[in-house]
Structure 1
Amino acid sequence: MTIFIAPQLIRAQTENASIRFDKQTQVFRIDAADVSYVFGINEKKAIQTLYWGKRLNAADTFAAPVYEPGVAAFDASNNTTRQEFVAWGAGLYVEPDLKITFPDGNRDLVLQYVSHTIAGNHLTVRLKDISREVYVELQYEMDPATGVLRRSAEVQNKTSSPLTIEQVSSGTWTLPRAQDYRLRYLTGRWAGEWNLREQLIQPGKTILESRRGSTGAQNNPWFAIDRNGSNDQDSGDVWFGGLGWSGSWKISIEQDQVQQVRVTGGPNSFDFDYRLAPGESLQTPYFYAGYTHDGIGSASRLLHRFELGSVLPGAPHPKLRPVLYNSWEATGFNVNEAAQEALAEKAASIGVERFVVDDGWFGKRADDHAGLGDWYVNPVKFPNGLKPLIDKVHSLNMDFGLWVEPEMVNPDSDLYRKHPDWVLNFTGRPRTEGRNQLVLNLARPDVREYVFNFLDKLLNENDIAFLKWDYNRNWSEPGWPAVAPEDEKKVYITYEQNLYSILEQLRKKHPAVEIESCSGGGSRVDLGIMHYTDEVWPSDNTDAFDRLKIQDGFTYAYTPAVMMAWVTDSPSQLNHRTLSLDYRFLSSMQGSLGIGANLNDWKPEDFATAKKMVAQYKQIREIVQRGSLYRLISPQNGSEHSVTESVSADQNAAVTFAFLHSSGMLYPFPRIYLRGLKPDSMYRIEALDGKLASDTPAVASGAFWMQNGVDVNLQGDFQAAAFSLKVVAN
């Protein structure tokens, strides 16, 4: 890489974001926040990556890119040149961004630069095949506040015949050549989501993917790459990103023949093809990625800030999450007007702001064997409809929410008996049930219309502020017999497009309604679904101790502002572990607080504790949901301790949560060294729950709290504490 000074391109470094193109060298440069991203057009008209990292000086300019040398005849330069988007052709062996089969059997595709446009902070680069009228538009937009770059691609068929896309990505990210990269990613299963994994990147390919028809908990579409041995939280180069797609997806991390690392992501190519008729186009999902020089902790904080500022509904100022009560654990399917009203009174008494009725209110729903798809209010359970209950909830100064599972149907339902062809299926083959239900084929226009219409009717007829949108199984038999066989595999794309369009249409027509994405826990959490939903459900595992690791892993990719965290009963349903109510609250207060316990079993002292804790949470809610998260002590790898700190955007306040698994051999709880404070400001410390060491000063500087630290008195098993800091006015 050659860098030289080009005076005609010198621009003030004070500009926060810019896109520039040097006509002489054919180089694009995108700058925002503390990041520079540079690529250019080489002599073969391929789009070649040049630099991605810490922001460069405005005077630094790159020489014209040239194809990089290959490795003998076995790996020509097409494989070793760092390309932004490369098609399968011309002897390509690395992961392609695009693979097409034409009607004449040809599968060779070679893309070259044609033109580009720059509009504000949006760049579009147009490519075309060397002989056929196939175009690809590469789209780039960098967030001025964080330097997170959004990429996607649109494939256009301008030939006179249909073609088949067999593989397509949103683009490829290429890291500087090195041998010491480490990959972090997230894995899991039901009740065990968000496990943080790491491994060295070595020659070959690592595939993160879901073939389940939805995001899936087995892998999440997020990655982070740093240098092996670098400091975990505070320093070191980190490249990180996430795919905004809620269907089957794939991210390939490949170290090539010359030790370059390529990260390619998009819809999963397994069982995939997409027939593109003349004049049609296919837009890929957004693939987001960023860079930081300040460690994995900074990478998380940048993603959180980006999600709050650019992804979530209401961005750049999404609403704070209200304190929620959900009646599922109290009543299960046995919901009725009187019992729900009694629970609502109890929930209101502790300061709950949103009351949610879960499964069981509709159709002939007595258990999970019947009723899904029949979205009318059960006349036996609610003889006067939902209005009396909603009015009661409103009289208690709470808004009302409802559970729905729009994409599913029970075979034992009026809907399925009337429309058995509406589910995903292969003609003449068995239909595999999961949780006694099948998946409606949302790709069908009639199914899409039905789902939107029943939700719209439900919201029109009832004063509902919130929908808990559940999705309790993955796909099987992903057939679409209603269309031509060559179009059946479009189901993987069209289903998700229709899902997003329903959510978007509902939000436009009912702008006050908020939505939670839930999928039997955290099986559909990604930057695609988060653009349409206000919060997500990380896991059905609400055990407060397990949640420390679950929530820790979750926040590497996603902001605590959307992370629903419930206080449920003890002993926990999953582990039968007994934990104090204070501990359970403090674990949940690290995210968006909800309560799911059976209030009918609570004692007066439980209500008193809960009322106190809910009031405390409301005082710190904005710091937790919108502040900067610092992981001070990790709960991973069998740690006996966990400590998190959230610092307000103006750095004038902070809240810290500390957890002890079990004491041993008279060792005290580790000293807590805070981060993110203003060194010269004076902060007053206050214990919210638990005790501070007796020699803790009431007021000290930010430097004191960060350098000297804080001691908390935690002894025994499953103990927790929390304290806050606020700047003292001069």
Structure 2
Amino acid sequence: MIHVNEETLEFHLKNDKISYIFRVMEETAIMEQLYFGASMATYDAYDFLIERESRPGNNQVDGTQIVNLDDIKQELPVYGTTDFRQPALEIIYPTGDRISHFAYSHYDIRHGKEKLKGLPTTFGKKEDVDILAIFLTDRYSDLQVEMRYAIYKDFPVITRQNIITNLGSESHQLETFLSLNLDLPNDNFEWLHLHGAWAREAQLSRDKLIIGTQQITSTRGASSHVHNPFLAICQPETTENQGCAYGFSLIYSGNFLAQIQLDTYDVARVQLGINPFQFSWELAENSSFTTPEAVMVYSEQGLNGMSQTFHEFYKTHLINQKWVHQKRPVLINNWEATYFDFDEEKILNIAKKAKNLGVDLFVLDDGWFGSRDTDNGSLGNWTPDLRKLPNGIAGLAKKIVALDMQFGLWFEPEMVSIDTPLFQEHPDWRIGNPDKNISHGRNQFVLDFSRTEVVDTIFEQIDDILSHAPITYIKWDMNRYISESYSKALAKDNQGELFHRYILGVYNLYEKILAKYPDLLIESCAGGGGRFDPAMLYYAPQTWTSDGTDAIERLRIQYGTSMVYPLSAMGSHVSEVPNHQVARVTSLATRANVAMFGTFGYELDITNLCENESAEIRKQITTFKTYQKLIHDGIFYRLKNPFVTNECAWLVVSKDKKEALLGWYQVLAQPNSAYQRIRLAGLAPDKNYLIRSENGSEIRNGKDLMHVGIFLSENLIGRPESEQNRKMFGDFNSRLFYLCEQ
């Protein structure tokens, strides 16, 4: 999949879906970007892709006007080469200047992609992925950069990752080192990204690219509720199912930068990587620094095609393969049922009722440790509260398991409260300058996970719980950001390393836990979706999508999240009503019909349900278990956009196109509304499908379902219903349709 012209030093990464082409420039030996997009034929030379004209401006080479890098597309732009756009690499030299020139040295081709210890990356077998490594050397120092490009046999995907190594004896300061730089000719592009806040994450925005820089970032120590490390660009005519789209995603959980700089020559510079804000890294003698991996996707089947590639690629080459096709347990979490007010008897009553309803896993949430009756203490003291649980976690877990259920437990391992022995013994383990104000968030502080002794201590506490109790699941929470970055363990000139070292410490704890407990299912959580990123999926195959559990809010949240993340990664529950975030009342059916398109579970006091409600939940759980393989392994299509319409609709189609599950949702009812229909996608046009819904069944042709659609409005010919007594959907309504081949 990697073609190299040794004479012209042109490199072509290619499969039957995608091509990526770049070259070594004459005289400067700088890497020039030529093409990224649909698969292109191989040629003896690619000079027809080179764009070079005489421009007014600074030129690198005497006697020519065509080596002005301000209008040349590049792979690794730096400062000091006549390019005034944002660099991807910036270094402070021992002399104090930042002038660099990284020139081509040699290349290497490898087959297969191994996992990296300590930094989440994609992986693949020798027959599935090829890697091209391009080595660059700095003309002014002993620094070397290795740019790694991976291309995968079955996906329109290129991944990018950079490594810089100091081969000399003098230290240099790394100020900016991004994972990806792509200079893409503008084609009237629009850009998409996901933004939000706590309880309303993954809100989808789509806007026209304008001259200048458009960016999304995190400076919070986590990928954050506010922005997701993902963006996409497409043309105005690109829809969910038609047109070209380019998607970019960063496998990283800390501060990130994702930006597009549209210049005066109509080139869109897409950059993705660690945020240079508050970042600085000492490159000492013989040391190196590796960037997170960036993923580039190209789609010719619209935004759905882009998303489907991300979904399948992450399931195949990023998420632990143990969990990808294994059925996830239907769970019940006690949080919205009890909050901190519980004891063993109350928990067992919920668990017994849950078992009767068909639930597989009981999860004990916050409040089981220390003396935690509110959110103002005990974090970092991971010892069971014997007032609430006289038999400890082990005793409770064994009683849950005796009910033929699995047992799961909530932790927030990265945090500390000031009332704990841990803080009293090690106040310097809290992030922040002790001589300045250190703000709290949710009455808690962040532990300095850049220090291995801190990670080791927390691991020992968690290990003591896991080793004595039959626990199969952990909910790993993180409820506040880092607002005063400072570590007592780092020298004054190394404080810029804290944010990155912190997130490496988080990865380290994940690896220590999973090394000892490889069968443990972890659901990552950060106040909901505050750290929903690909790197978390490397360790935890599912993420609590949002603390916003209202079904109607979840339509937008799950729709936006699906732009890049698969359904099997989305934690989704049926919660209490009135909803605890927005006080909205929705039916039990609609709450389940939304949560069904995720991992599925419950978060409400089921001991208060009437028998009719209990019977409905039993049926919901049976329905989900019947369709779980289809939902988690099938191909997901977004059909109606809740950000622009009063409806939402999505569809999962099995890979063999023999079955499908459609979800349709109406936000507000409208009087005398227009006729409603849903056109499906992804079906086999030559197959007939039996469609089952609450209104009965019918047989329709696949091609007709995609072109004509399913009719939601009724045909009252020959029926006695009148306008006054006909069935209406009402506010916050929903319907499920199951299709199977006939």
Shift in Å at residue 550 of structure 1?
1.0
- The amino acid across from 1:154 in the alignment is I
Alignment counterpart, residue 583 of structure 2, candidates 569, 576, 579: 576
- Secondary structure of 2:231's counterpart equals strand
- Secondary structure of 2:191's counterpart equals strand
Q: What residue in structure 1 maps to residue 706 of structure 2?
A: 706
Shift in Å at residue 170 of structure 1?
0.7
Q: What residue in structure 2 maps to residue 79 of structure 1?
A: 70
Between the aligned partners of 1:52 and 1:593, the Cα distance in structure 2 is 38
Please tell me whether the aligned partners of residues 8 and 45 of structure 2 are also in contact (alpha carbons under 8 angstroms). Answer: no
- Secondary structure of 1:345's counterpart equals helix
Q: What residue in structure 1 maps to residue 647 of structure 2?
A: 641
Between the aligned partners of 1:272 and 1:644, the Cα distance in structure 2 is 41
Shift in Å at residue 335 of structure 1?
3.0
Task: State which drifts further: 591-600 or 466-475.
Answer: 591-600
Q: What residue in structure 2 maps to residue 458 of structure 1?
A: 465
Q: Is the alpha carbon distance of 1:318 and 1:70 closer, same or farther for their aligned partners in structure 2, counting shifts above 3 Å?
A: farther
If the length of structure 2 is used for normalisation, what is the TM-score?
0.92
- The amino acid across from 1:488 in the alignment is Q
Between the aligned partners of 1:192 and 1:26, the Cα distance in structure 2 is 49
Q: Is the alpha carbon distance of 1:534 and 1:706 closer, same or farther for their aligned partners in structure 2, counting shifts above 3 Å?
A: same
Alignment counterpart, residue 197 of structure 1, candidates 202, 205, 215: 205
Please tell me whether the aligned partners of residues 57 and 68 of structure 2 are also in contact (alpha carbons under 8 angstroms). Answer: no
Please tell me whether the aligned partners of residues 97 and 168 of structure 1 are also in contact (alpha carbons under 8 angstroms). Answer: yes
Shift in Å at residue 424 of structure 1?
0.6
Q: Is the alpha carbon distance of 1:482 and 1:329 closer, same or farther for their aligned partners in structure 2, counting shifts above 3 Å?
A: same
1:525-544 CA-partner distances (Å, limit 9, x unpaired): 11112111110011111001
Between the aligned partners of 1:29 and 1:717, the Cα distance in structure 2 is 54
Shift in Å at residue 23 of structure 1?
0.8
Residues 418-437 of structure 1 correspond to what in structure 2 (within 5 A)?
A: 418-437=425-444
Between the aligned partners of 2:448 and 2:326, the Cα distance in structure 1 is 32
Q: What residue in structure 2 maps to residue 9 of structure 1?
A: none
1:512-567 CA-partner distances (Å, limit 9, x unpaired): 10111111111101111211111001111100111111111111121111101110
Q: What residue in structure 1 maps to residue 103 of structure 2?
A: 112
Alignment counterpart, residue 153 of structure 2, candidates 141, 144, 161: 144
Shift in Å at residue 434 of structure 1?
0.5
Please tell me whether the aligned partners of residues 35 and 49 of structure 2 are also in contact (alpha carbons under 8 angstroms). Answer: no
- The amino acid across from 2:141 in the alignment is R
1:588-615 CA-partner distances (Å, limit 9, x unpaired): 1121111001112211111100000110
Please tell me whether the aligned partners of residues 312 and 318 of structure 1 are also in contact (alpha carbons under 8 angstroms). Answer: no
| Seq. identity, % | 30
- The amino acid across from 1:162 in the alignment is S
- Secondary structure of 1:330's counterpart equals helix
Task: Verify: 1:354 aligned to 2:361, yes or no.
Answer: yes
Between the aligned partners of 1:542 and 1:453, the Cα distance in structure 2 is 33
Task: Verify: 1:259 aligned to 2:243, yes or no.
Answer: no
Between the aligned partners of 1:217 and 1:129, the Cα distance in structure 2 is 38
RMSD after superposition: 1.7
- Secondary structure of 1:169's counterpart equals strand
Task: Verify: 1:53 aligned to 2:53, yes or no.
Answer: no
Q: What residue in structure 2 maps to residue 503 of structure 1?
A: 510
Task: Verify: 1:240 aligned to 2:224, yes or no.
Answer: no
Task: Verify: 1:591 aligned to 2:598, yes or no.
Answer: yes
If the length of structure 1 is used for normalisation, what is the TM-score?
0.94
Alignment counterpart, residue 300 of structure 1, candidates 307, 310, 330: 307
Structure 1, unaligned stretches of length 5 or more?
1-17
- The amino acid across from 1:77 in the alignment is N
Q: What residue in structure 2 maps to residue 21 of structure 1?
A: 4
Q: Is the alpha carbon distance of 1:611 and 1:157 closer, same or farther for their aligned partners in structure 2, counting shifts above 3 Å?
A: same
Please tell me whether the aligned partners of residues 5 and 44 of structure 2 are also in contact (alpha carbons under 8 angstroms). Answer: no
Q: What residue in structure 2 maps to residue 722 of structure 1?
A: 736
Between the aligned partners of 1:428 and 1:195, the Cα distance in structure 2 is 39
Alignment counterpart, residue 23 of structure 2, candidates 40, 44, 52: 40
Shift in Å at residue 60 of structure 1?
7.5
Shift in Å at residue 58 of structure 1?
4.4
Between the aligned partners of 1:675 and 1:396, the Cα distance in structure 2 is 43
Shift in Å at residue 74 of structure 1?
5.6
Q: What residue in structure 2 maps to residue 10 of structure 1?
A: none
Shift in Å at residue 61 of structure 1?
5.0
Please tell me whether the aligned partners of residues 481 and 488 of structure 1 are also in contact (alpha carbons under 8 angstroms). Answer: no
- The amino acid across from 1:143 in the alignment is Y
Shift in Å at residue 708 of structure 1?
2.8
- The amino acid across from 1:68 in the alignment is R
Shift in Å at residue 109 of structure 1?
0.8
Q: What residue in structure 2 maps to residue 398 of structure 1?
A: 405
Task: Verify: 1:471 aligned to 2:478, yes or no.
Answer: yes
Task: State which drifts further: 134-143 or 498-507.
Answer: 498-507
Please tell me whether the aligned partners of residues 240 and 289 of structure 1 are also in contact (alpha carbons under 8 angstroms). Answer: yes
1:373-409 CA-partner distances (Å, limit 9, x unpaired): 0011112222222223222222332211100000001
- Secondary structure of 2:186's counterpart equals coil
Q: What residue in structure 1 maps to residue 670 of structure 2?
A: 664
Alignment counterpart, residue 215 of structure 2, candidates 204, 207, 219: 207
- The amino acid across from 1:710 in the alignment is I
- The amino acid across from 1:562 in the alignment is A
Shift in Å at residue 64 of structure 1?
8.5
Please tell me whether the aligned partners of residues 658 and 722 of structure 1 are also in contact (alpha carbons under 8 angstroms). Answer: yes
Structure 2, unaligned stretches of length 5 or more?
60-66, 112-129, 714-727
Q: Is the alpha carbon distance of 1:394 and 1:187 closer, same or farther for their aligned partners in structure 2, counting shifts above 3 Å?
A: same
Task: Verify: 1:223 aligned to 2:231, yes or no.
Answer: yes
Q: What residue in structure 1 maps to residue 276 of structure 2?
A: 269
- The amino acid across from 2:139 in the alignment is I
Residues 328-407 of structure 1 correspond to what in structure 2 (within 5 A)?
A: 328-407=335-414
Q: Is the alpha carbon distance of 1:492 and 1:251 closer, same or farther for their aligned partners in structure 2, counting shifts above 3 Å?
A: same
Q: Is the alpha carbon distance of 1:669 and 1:499 closer, same or farther for their aligned partners in structure 2, counting shifts above 3 Å?
A: farther
